[in-house]
Structure 1
Amino acid sequence: MAPPSPAETLRRWFEEVWNRRDPSRVERYFAPDTLLHSLGDSGTDIVGPEAFKAFLQRYLDSFSDIAITVHEVVEAGSMVAGRWTASMTHTGDGLGIPPTGRRVTITGMSLARIEDGTIREAWDEWDRLGLARALGTIPG
């Protein structure tokens, strides 16, 4: 059986890992050396499933009801790009910010190189400034 297309892999990634809040699925989609650009503290790169799971857990601990909607996906060979919206309620302090109870919606885009159903490299950009403003960490 052939692996899913890069577009289908990206959609499944958001559904299984983020929407179902299932860190155990990260290994299904990442190689040990998967490179994720700009996800670490201060915009540094991170490598591998364990580093990503630490990033993921901070967000799962901060937002009890993350729901990501993937709007469009464009695929070209092994490269795939998707535009998405995340809606969530700030209920925990996983990001070091006391819970505000605020409902937050942010937009973002993900670009990934996917080979045989495995994310090998990814670039993610989302409205970090909008998130910080919504949580009150910087003035609006």
Structure 2
Amino acid sequence: MSSRHSPTSTDAAVDIARRFAEEVWNGREYTAIPELVHRDYVLHDPAAPDPIRGRDALERHIRDSVRAFPDLHVEPRLGLGEGETVMTYYTTTGTFDGAYGPLSPTGRRVAVDGTAVIRYEDGKMREEHLYYDTADFRKQLGVTGLGFLRQVPSIARWTLRTVRARLFG
């Protein structure tokens, strides 16, 4: 390990992951992000088209998720680690009552089990990889098969807005 990085104990890293779920995701205490998350944080989420980079982008991602699932709750079930890397097993629940990217709300309740592998640097979350069944998540949202066809107009509008914003600012 490079001398510029302060070591994070496994117990401390597990506690940071638990606090992140409880305070930021569940408590909506976004002011806790700088205390728990490294300034160069990167999130790899299979539902996101690109990595989410930095604290501001992470906060936007969480706020967007909470707008889509106002009752969103993350329940950490198990935290294991070695050195500055922690794996947490969690269950996320919520009701799809708001727009989620290009998707229109379906009012359906979801419960998704997943695993997060988190690397720490300087005592803060530096990089996180999420692993969960995205096909099951889409099925629970009601956006597969005929449910997906009902989403096509919403997806088209979202795509057009996104392209316009990227091209014309």
Query: Counterpart in 2 of 1:87?
Result: 93
1:62 to 62, 68, 75: 68
CA contact (8 A) 1:39 1:45 kept: no
Structure 1 stretches lacking a partner, 5+ long:
none
CA contact (8 A) 1:39 1:46 kept: no
**Residue 34 of structure 2: which of 21, 27, 45 is its match?**
27
1:116 offset after TM fit, Å? 4.3
Deviation track 1:42-66 (CA, whole Å, cap 9, x = no partner) reads: 2x22221011112112211100111
State the one-letter code of the partner of 2:94: M
Contact 2:77–2:90 (CA under 8 A) maintained in structure 1: yes
Q: CA deviation at 1:121?
A: 1.4
User: Greater Rg, structure 1 or structure 2?
Assistant: 2
Residue matched to 1:135? 141
Are the equivalent residues in 1 in contact too, given 2:109–2:141 (CA < 8 A)? no
User: Per the alignment, do residues 23 and 39 of structure 1 end up closer, same or farther by CA in structure 2, a change over 3 Å counting?
Assistant: farther
| RMSD between superposed Cα atoms in Å | 2.2
Alignment of 1:1-140 (within 5 A): 5-38=12-45, 41-42=48-49, 44-139=50-145
Distance 2:124 2:102 in 1: 31
Relative to total residues, which structure has the larger helix share, 1 or 2? Answer: 2
Contact 2:43/2:128, CA 8 A, preserved across alignment: yes
CA distance, structure 1, for counterparts of residue 109 and residue 48 of structure 2: 24
Partners of 1:138 and 1:39 in 2: CA distance: 17
Task: Report if aligned partners of 2:40, 2:54 keep a CA contact under 8 Å in 1.
Answer: yes
User: How far has the Cα of 1:32 moved from its partner?
Assistant: 1.7
TM-score for the superposition, normalised by structure 1: 0.86
TM-score by length of 2: 0.73
More strand per residue? 1
Percent of matched pairs sharing the same residue: 28
Aligned residues, how many?
Answer: 138
